[in-house]
């Protein structure tokens, strides 16, 4: 793991990209928000645990797939670099559109009774593991932080740091949105959040497409 620390300049942009991605609204975050607001903190944290499992699944698959491709095909990293850069620019476009849009968060649907622990875990896992954008995002993040010739420990470090952060963020959303005034505060700051996302994704996408890795 000590040799992986030498790649911190490459890992840091990947980590920032992940941090922005994990805190931004998407199907997983909206599920946490809706569950926490409707059924309380415990239910929100339970579905967060399932979502974390889905994220860990895609992270492991992305790292393993990237390592296999790099060992088999010399052009694999170049292809992933182009794909990852274009995907980051696509996220920048979506974030920019969200800045211009005036829509609010979707309304929370009330349910007659609180779901069981098992159903919440499976729901959270299903939401994340069936979302193709999750694997694309992980491929882009690992390609951004793992240059050619980097040891496998770099991918392990990226996954460990990002997934630990993701776990804290998911649980934090569940705790935050089980409070009464959280949704109002989020709505007021939403445009600034989306604007920052658009700017960074654009920077990261261009950096990845123009980098020599």
pLDDT tens profile 13-44: 888 888 888 887 777 888 898 888 878 889 99
Averaging pLDDT over each range in 3-17, 35-49, 127-141, 190-204, which range is the top one? 35-49
Question: CB-side exposure of 71: number of CA atoms within 13 Å?
Answer: 8
Q: Is 50 exceeded by the pLDDT of residue 171?
A: yes
107 within some domain: no
pTM, two decimals, is: 0.70
133 within some domain: yes
Contact indicator for 191, 105 with CB cutoff of 8 Å: no
Residue 47 CA: distances (Å) to CA of 113, 115, 125, 171, 193? 15, 10, 8, 9, 24
Whole-number percent of the chain with pLDDT over 90: 19
9 within some domain: no
* Residue 164 buriedness (CB in 10 A; 0-12 / 13-18 / 19+): exposed
Provide the domain count of the chain. Answer: 1
Q: Is 90 exceeded by the pLDDT of residue 163?
A: yes
74 within some domain: yes
Bigger pLDDT: 2 vs 153: 153
- pLDDT at 103 (0 to 100): 54
- pLDDT at 52 (0 to 100): 96
4 within some domain: no
> Which residues, including other chains, have CB under 8 Å from residue 16's CB and lie 6 or more apart?
200, 204
Structure token digits, residue 105 = 């968060």
Domain range enclosing 175 = 15-102+115-210
2 within some domain: no
Bigger pLDDT: 67 vs 164: 164
Structure token digits, residue 42 = 């415990």
- pLDDT at 110 (0 to 100): 44
> Which residues, including other chains, have CB under 8 Å from residue 146's CB and lie 6 or more apart?
7, 10, 14, 66, 154, 155, 158
10 within some domain: no
Bigger pLDDT: 2 vs 9: 9
Whole-angstrom distance, CA of residue 94 vs CA of residue 132? 16
Whole-angstrom distance, CA of residue 205 vs CA of residue 209? 6
pLDDT tens sequence across 100-123: 765 555 444 444 467 899 999 999
Residue 197 CA: distances (Å) to CA of 6, 173, 211? 27, 18, 21
What's the longest Cα–Cα distance across the chain?
Answer: 55
Do you know the residue count of the chain? 213
Q: Is 90 exceeded by the pLDDT of residue 188?
A: no
Contact indicator for 137, 21 with CB cutoff of 8 Å: yes
81 within some domain: yes
């Amino acid at each position: 793991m000590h040799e992986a620390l030498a790649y911190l300049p490459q890992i840091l942009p990947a980590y920032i990209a992940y941090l922005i991605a994990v805190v931004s609204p998407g199907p997983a975050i909206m599920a946490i928000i809706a569950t926490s607001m409707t059924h309380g903190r415990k239910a929100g944290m339970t579905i967060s645990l399932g979502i974390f499992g889905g994220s860990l699944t895609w992270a492991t698959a992305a790292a393993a797939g990237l390592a296999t491709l790099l060992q088999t095909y010399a052009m694999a990293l170049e292809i992933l670099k182009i794909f990852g850069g274009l995907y980051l620019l696509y996220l920048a476009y979506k974030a920019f559109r969200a800045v211009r849009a005036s829509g609010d968060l979707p309304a929370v649907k009330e349910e007659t009774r609180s779901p069981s622990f098992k159903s919440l875990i499976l729901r959270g896992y299903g939401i994340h593991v069936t979302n193709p954008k999750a694997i694309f995002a992980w491929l882009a993040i690992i390609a951004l932080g793992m240059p050619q010739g980097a040891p496998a420990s770099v991918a392990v470090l990226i996954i460990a740091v990002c997934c630990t952060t993701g776990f804290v963020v998911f649980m934090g959303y569940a705790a935050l949105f089980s409070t009464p005034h959280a949704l109002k505060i989020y709505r007021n700051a939403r445009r600034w959040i989306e604007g920052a996302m658009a700017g960074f994704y654009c920077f990261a996408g261009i950096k990845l497409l123009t980098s020599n890795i």
